[in-house]
Amino acid sequence: MAKTDIFQMNNNDKWKRYCDLLFSDDSLGFWLDISRMDVENNDFKNFEERYSEAFDSLTKLENGSIANIDERRQVGHYWLRNPKIAPSEQISDSIVNEIKKISEFGSSIVNGEITNNDGKKYTDVFWIGIGGSGLGPLLIKESFKRDSVGLNLHFLDNVDPEGISHKLNSILPAINTTLFVVVSKSGGTPEPLIGMEQSMKFVHDNNLKWASRAIAITSNGSKLDQLAVSENWLAIFDLPDWVGGRTSITGAVGLLPAVLIGADINKFLDGASQMDALTRAKDIKNNPAALLSLAWFKSGNGKGLRDMVVLPYRDRLQVFSRYLQQLVMESLGKKFDRNDNQVNQGIAVYGNKGSTDQHAYVQQLRDGVDNFFVNFIEILHDPSEITEVNNKRPGDYLSGFLQGTRSALTEGGRQNLTITFKSFDESSLGALIALFERAVSLYAELINVNAYNQPGVEAGKKAATNIINLQKEI
């Protein structure tokens, strides 16, 4: 079925197509509708062999193959939410122990069992991290932080001098009850290193001790680990070398902030694990990540010719598009494929939230250049404390805006898909993240690029280092 036929079908045929392509899972309260994307029924047969190879590659990855060829590393973020599938008992035990350690430490902070030097409970967290080490915790905060529950989170994720000054001064009233978390796998990445050094000085200038309120999330034996051990920092959590920054949210990078704001990390991990299980199905039509990646592939002709617009219709998912920018673009944006052919692959990602940003985007999406597809993200359940006022229910209007926008785009021949969850909690966020992680992995296999390296990022770091060294010489 050609793309134009999809949008010219009568209502009965559209309904049949919807039912035929819909994926749902009752245990997660989850639905995926790709019926408005350029996917044809014969695609499932045509792509069967390619997906069979992709499924086998992911099985090998989960079994411990060296997937990050550039760094000769395994890729194990899927093990983080199901330690039983880790390729060795040592790795499995280390994951279980780390989750327990994070849970106990976080609870001790929140409950006031661990206090500052004056015996006062900690009230705030100053988080220093870059990329996924900052975006993941920010997504956790925006999704689950509630007033009067847990600690307040503040983020330093850049080396902008004005930004550093503003953010450090903003915590001055609570500096005595603030924890400082530094996230860096190697301990040598310039942004978190500079953020740490500036924060150290700020703490010392205010006559406080750094080590007793400092926490490191880093790889065992790294420069940061050695520093934290030598200075006897308050805590050190592991960031294994087999976890990349953009997939670290189900490890210490996401679990520690979740515990510190009072979120349920077991539900978060369980939701991700349940989605992982669904996306291991070796049948395209019964695998939501395969359906999602196939829709992406067909929409952009396997070359990323269409941008991915992400429109979650909930405030709590406002930063999800930013989170996906790194996950998708750093994983898929590659100059060469695995056979060293120049392919210049990738999918551009942008978006924010509905219904606010439909006012900014929809005019062009509906009437402008047709170079995109939309991912609508819908949550059905409304919080009970928000009730009807003057015969108006906010949730009804929010749902109406989503459905209206989707209909307008569909009528205009614009491709879109809808991800729906019955409710939004730690489990559904874990499932949503796992869905996109697996879809990215499968899409990368279809276009034959390595989803787990980042040569462009490394080239940028090297160029920046050369310029900084030259500045010092001058």
Residues labelled as active-site residues: 330, 359, 461
Rounded to whole angstroms, how far apart are CA atoms 340 and 31? 38
Strands 307-312 and 349-351, bridge-based pairing: parallel
Spatial separation of the C-alpha atoms in residues 90 and 72, rounded to whole Å: 19
For 178, phi then psi, to 5°, come to -110, 135
- For 268, residues 6+ apart whose C-beta sits below 8 A from its C-beta are 250, 254, 255, 258, 426, 427, 429, 430
What gap in Å lies between CA 81 and CA 99, rounded to an integer? 10
How do the residues of the chain divide into helix, strand and coil, expressed in percent and rounded to 5? 50, 15, 35
Q: Which residues contact 445 (CB under 8 A, 6 or more apart)?
A: 50, 53, 54, 57, 58
Q: Which two tokens stand for residue 381?
A: 């359940």
Nearest alpha-carbon partner for 376 in 345, 398, 395: 398
3-state secondary structure of 264: coil
